Amino acid sequence: MRIAVLGAGAWGSALAISLSARHQISLWSKDPDHAIKMERERINQSFLPGYPLPESLKITSILNEALDAAELALIVVPIAGLRETLRAIAARKIKIPILWGCKGFESETTYLPHQVVEAEYSAILPHCGVLSGPSFAEEVAQGLPTALTLASKDVDFFSKIAAELHSSRLRIYTSQDVVGVETGGAVKNVITIAAGISDGIGFGHNARAALITRGLMEITRLGLGLGGSMKTFMGLAGVGDLILTSTGDLSRNRKVGLMLAEGKSLNDILNELGHVAEGVHTAQSVLKLGDRLNIEMPITQAVCSILHEGVSARTAVEVLLNREQKTEIY
User: Does residue 155 share a domain with residue 9?
Assistant: yes
| CA distance to 49, 228, 296, per residue, from 61 (Å) | 19, 36, 44
Q: In one letter, which amino acid is 24?
A: Q
Cβ(48)–Cβ(72) below 8 Å: no
Q: In one letter, which amino acid is 250?
A: L
User: Does residue 112 share a domain with residue 9?
Assistant: yes
User: Does residue 295 share a domain with residue 232?
Assistant: yes
Per-residue pLDDT of the chain (330 residues; tens, 9 = 90+): 999 999 999 999 999 999 999 999 999 999 999 999 999 999 999 999 999 999 999 999 999 999 999 999 999 999 999 999 999 999 988 889 999 999 999 999 999 999 999 999 887 777 999 999 999 999 999 999 999 999 999 999 999 999 999 999 999 999 999 999 999 999 999 999 999 999 999 999 999 999 999 999 999 999 999 999 999 999 999 999 999 999 999 999 999 999 999 999 999 999 998 877 889 999 999 999 999 999 999 999 999 999 999 999 999 988 888 888 888 876
Phi and psi based region of residue 200 (left: phi greater than 0; alpha: psi -120 to 50; beta: remaining): alpha
In a domain, 91, yes or no: yes
In a domain, 20, yes or no: yes
Helix (H, G, I), strand (E, B) or coil at 150: strand
pLDDT at residue 183 in the model: 98
In a domain, 138, yes or no: yes
| Distance between CA atoms of residues 273 and 205, nearest Å | 25
Domain that holds residue 164: 2-176
User: Does residue 273 share a domain with residue 205?
Assistant: yes
pLDDT at residue 123 in the model: 74
| Distance between CA atoms of residues 80 and 313, nearest Å | 27
Look at the chain and report how many structural domains it folds into. Answer: 2
- Domain end point (choices 133, 152, 176): 176
Give me the residues paired with residue 2 across strands. 24
User: Does residue 118 share a domain with residue 58?
Assistant: yes
In a domain, 172, yes or no: yes
In a domain, 195, yes or no: yes
| CA distance to 28, 90, 120, 239, per residue, from 64 (Å) | 10, 12, 18, 38
In a domain, 144, yes or no: yes
User: Does residue 316 share a domain with residue 197?
Assistant: yes
Whether the ω angle into residue 52 lies within 30 degrees of 0, i.e. cis, is: no
Buried b (16+ CB within 10 A) or exposed e, 144-153: eebebbbbbb
pLDDT at residue 321 in the model: 85
In a domain, 163, yes or no: yes
Q: List phi, psi (to 5°) of 297.
A: -135, 65
CATH number of the domain at 303, please.
1.10.1040.10
Give me the residues paired with residue 150 across strands. 131, 174
User: Does residue 163 share a domain with residue 87?
Assistant: yes
CATH number of the domain at 66, please.
3.40.50.720
In a domain, 181, yes or no: no
Strand order in the sheet with 24-28: 58-60, 24-28, 2-6, 72-75, 98-100, 128-132, 146-151, 170-175
| Distance between CA atoms of residues 60 and 289, nearest Å | 38
Q: Considering only CA atoms, which of 188, 182, 130 is closest in space to residue 154?
A: 130
User: Does residue 163 share a domain with residue 52?
Assistant: yes
Cβ(4)–Cβ(26) below 8 Å: yes
Bridge-based pairing state of the strands 128-132 and 146-151: antiparallel
User: Does residue 158 share a domain with residue 81?
Assistant: yes
User: Does residue 96 share a domain with residue 157?
Assistant: yes
- Domain end point (choices 176, 195, 214): 176
User: Does residue 217 share a domain with residue 73?
Assistant: no
Phi and psi based region of residue 69 (left: phi greater than 0; alpha: psi -120 to 50; beta: remaining): left
User: Does residue 87 share a domain with residue 194?
Assistant: no
pLDDT at residue 277 in the model: 83
- Domain end point (choices 176, 211, 234): 176
Residue 188 is a catalytic residue: yes
The burial of 143, by beta-carbon neighbours within 10 Å (0-12 exposed, 13-18 middle, 19 or more buried), is given as middle
List the catalytic residue out of 160, 188, 255, 326.
Answer: 188
